[in-house]
């Protein structure tokens, strides 16, 4: 039972990074300029590296012939536990940056807490990952400021991205049954308690960027428990293609 919960919790942690990593990977060779293209794919690589650590641990718990690859690739859509935020399409550079920013600030908070987890594997993964994610936060915050406080056009695009994506932010902090279990057993953080720090950090960067959060927001919840948006099917179609077409193939 405990193992089942821990397995599920590892998927919660890994899936957000994996789906966001996949979205960033789509930009490989399509970034607005060489340096940002490289930056975004580097971030994707960091995220996938971290996911491998979570899923290697998950595969060990699952046992049998489970591997990090089968955990990553061979699930049905409703079995993925990522949030709506990370499955949002790239749209334009402003969307890419704002989505990244909303996630990075959350990610940094979570990893900070996981460094004190009762689970040693999570502590090790968090201590390793936080160093990389600190860079991600710097990168996306800097760009949010640059776009928001930039030209009229960049400001408008950044504001549109903020207004569109903000509705997906609070799902990050709405604990599922598994995340509540993690908090109770001190394996993971109490998400509700992190919300106010998150709001503070996001608001202060947005203020510097001369951007504002929408006044009234109907927040969207459900992806974490398996009710994904239409986007998810397309992401998985590409992501799982090789394993579905050629089962058990290896490089």
Partner 1 sequence: MLGVSTKIEELLTSVSDPEIPVLSIMDMGIVRKVELVDNVYRIDITPTYSGCPAMDTIGDDIVSAFEKEDLKAKINLVLAPAWTTGWITERGRKALEDYGIAAPRTAEVDKAALLGEANTIKCTNCGSLNTKMVSRFGSTACKALFQCVDCHEPFDYFKCLK
**Separation of CA 9 from chain center:** 14
Map residue 214 onto helix, strand or coil.
coil
Question: With binding defined as CB under 8 A, does residue 39 bind partner 1?
Answer: yes
How many residues bind to partner 1 according to rule CB under 8 A? 26
Residue from the set 61, 66, 74, 123 that interacts with partner 1 by CB under 8 A? 123
Give the footprint of partner 1 on residues 77-106 (CB under 8 A).
Answer: none
Q: Are 62 and 73 in contact (CB under 8 A)?
A: no
Closer to partner 1 by Cβ: residue 129 or 176:
129
Q: Which parts of the chain fold into alpha helices (H)?
A: 2-25, 34-62, 68-73, 84-87, 93-114, 120-148, 152-165, 177-184, 191-208, 230-239, 241-245
Q: Smallest gap, in angstroms, from Cβ of residue 36 to partner 1?
A: 8
Closer to partner 1 by Cβ: residue 14 or 188:
14
Closer to partner 1 by Cβ: residue 91 or 132:
132
Question: With binding defined as CB under 8 A, does residue 139 bind partner 1?
Answer: yes
Cα separation of 135 and 154, whole Å?
Answer: 23
Residue from the set 5, 52, 167, 195 that interacts with partner 1 by CB under 8 A? 52
Cα separation of 29 and 50, whole Å?
Answer: 23
Q: In the complex, which residues of this chain contact partner 1 (CB under 8 A)?
A: 35-36, 38-39, 42-43, 45-50, 52-53, 120, 123-125, 127-129, 131-132, 135, 138-139
């Amino acid at each position: 039972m405990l193992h089942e919960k821990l397995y599920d919790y590892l998927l919660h942690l890994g899936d957000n990074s994996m789906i966001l990593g996949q979205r960033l990977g789509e930009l490989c060779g399509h970034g607005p300029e060489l340096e940002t293209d490289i930056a975004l794919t580097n971030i994707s690589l960091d995220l996938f590296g971290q996911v491998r650590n979570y899923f290697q641990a998950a595969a060990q718990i699952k046992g049998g012939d489970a591997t990090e690859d089968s955990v990553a690739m061979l699930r049905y859509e409703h079995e993925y536990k990522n949030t709506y935020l990370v499955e949002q399409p790239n749209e334009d550079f402003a969307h890419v940056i704002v989505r990244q920013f909303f996630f990075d600030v959350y990610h940094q908070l979570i990893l900070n807490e996981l460094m004190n987890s009762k689970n040693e594997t999570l502590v090790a993964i968090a201590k390793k990952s936080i160093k990389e994610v600190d860079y991600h936060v710097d990168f996306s915050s800097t760009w949010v400021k640059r776009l928001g406080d930039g030209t009229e056009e960049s400001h408008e695009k950044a504001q549109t991205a903020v207004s569109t994506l903000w509705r997906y932010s609070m799902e990050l902090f709405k604990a599922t049954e598994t995340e509540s279990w993690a908090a109770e057993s001190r394996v993971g953080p109490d998400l509700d308690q992190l919300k106010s720090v998150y709001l503070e950090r996001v608001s202060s960067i947005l203020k510097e960027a001369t951007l504002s959060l929408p006044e009234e927001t109907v927040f969207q919840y459900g992806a974490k428990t398996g009710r994904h948006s239409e986007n998810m099917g397309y992401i998985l179609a590409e992501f799982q293609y090789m394993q579905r077409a050629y089962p058990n193939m290896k490089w």
